[in-house]
Amino acid sequence: MKRQARGARLAATIDELRCNSEMLHLLLEDLSELPAEPLDRENAEWMLAVVEKMVDNLARQCRLEEEQEYMADVLDQFPSWYPQIEHLQQEQELLRRQLGDIRARLAGEVHRGVVGRETRRQLRDWIQGFRQHDAREGELIHDAFTLDVGAGE
């Protein structure tokens, strides 16, 4: 009975992780359309709202992954990959902190009525860094799956 409950909790967590990840990617797409020219107040407030939602989602993502022991299944199969996984986890934490810093700076600028070019550049750089991190994470999972399936043949 306990095993079934644990399995149900794990399935619910995985579903929540998937939904959260999909939401992050949708928000990233919204921010990717960030205009290069100065923003009016309405667009600046919209951008701040999207960034705030991303901060919340990224924090939830990190918490859920931590609860499930980040990439535990990969580490179970390939313990020697610990350094790469540790690096990805540290990178994700750095990205989370950077986005929080961008949000704080953006909130101050929106309050003053001007979103600076530097803040928009930092946000575009962050988006690029997050996408690169996401791709590296996906490649590692893909490699683990491919090697695991290949080993069974």
Q: Which DSSP string do the residues of 71-98 spell out, in sequence order?
A: THHHHHH-GGGHHHHHHHHHHHHHHHHH
CB distance 17 to 64 below 8 Å: yes
Residue 4 has a pLDDT of 59
Query: What's the mean pLDDT in 106-120?
Result: 87
Largest CA distance in the chain: 62
At 71-105, the pLDDT tens digits run 888 888 889 999 999 999 999 999 999 999 999 99
